[in-house]
Amino acid sequence: MSKPAAPLKGRAARLARLMPSTGPSTAARTPFVLLVVLLLGGGLITLLLLNSALNEGSFRLSELKRDTTELTDEQQALQRDVDSRSQPDALERRARELGMVPGGSPAFLDPDGTVRGDPTEATAPPPSPSPSPSPTPGPRASAGAAPDPDATATGASGSASPSGSAPATEPDSATAPAAESTPPPTSPGR
């Protein structure tokens, strides 16, 4: 009922000679197909890992940007505070609250020990009438007033007994308690 296949002629015969038979070719294609599937699967897994790493970096970047914004805002607020406290009127008000008074004309010491200028003690100006009373500081030792070194040297030598029993370097007992009760002079601004 079926006719035997007629031999191919012409172009079909040439194509049939170029194409190998289907039997042995399926065994040779299996490793190639597995290689392609493995390459595609490996590429897909690599893309997923790369995508998750990029997303993690993106989250970290947005967190760092948010932190930078917060720190910049804090820095600007602190700078505004510094600027407001650095204004001359604010500095003067704060200095008066601390009991500081404007200084007089300055005097300078030359390297050879001579004094240039006329040193004067700073005195507080009369208090201005203000609606709220401010605490008045107690008497303070002036930082510019230093004892005369010649006066202390003569006082120490004058207190020595004529018999020489007391050493000349001991302080006078009358001046020792007064020296202990006064606080040491401090320099403003340090």
**What is the CB-side half-sphere exposure of residue 114 using CA atoms within 13 A?**
3
Q: How far is CA 164 from CA 39, 55, 155, 170, in A?
A: 109, 92, 15, 12
What pLDDT, in 10s, does the model give residues 77-131? 999 999 999 999 999 999 989 989 888 788 899 999 999 988 888 777 666 666 5
Report whether pLDDT(171) > 60.
Answer: no
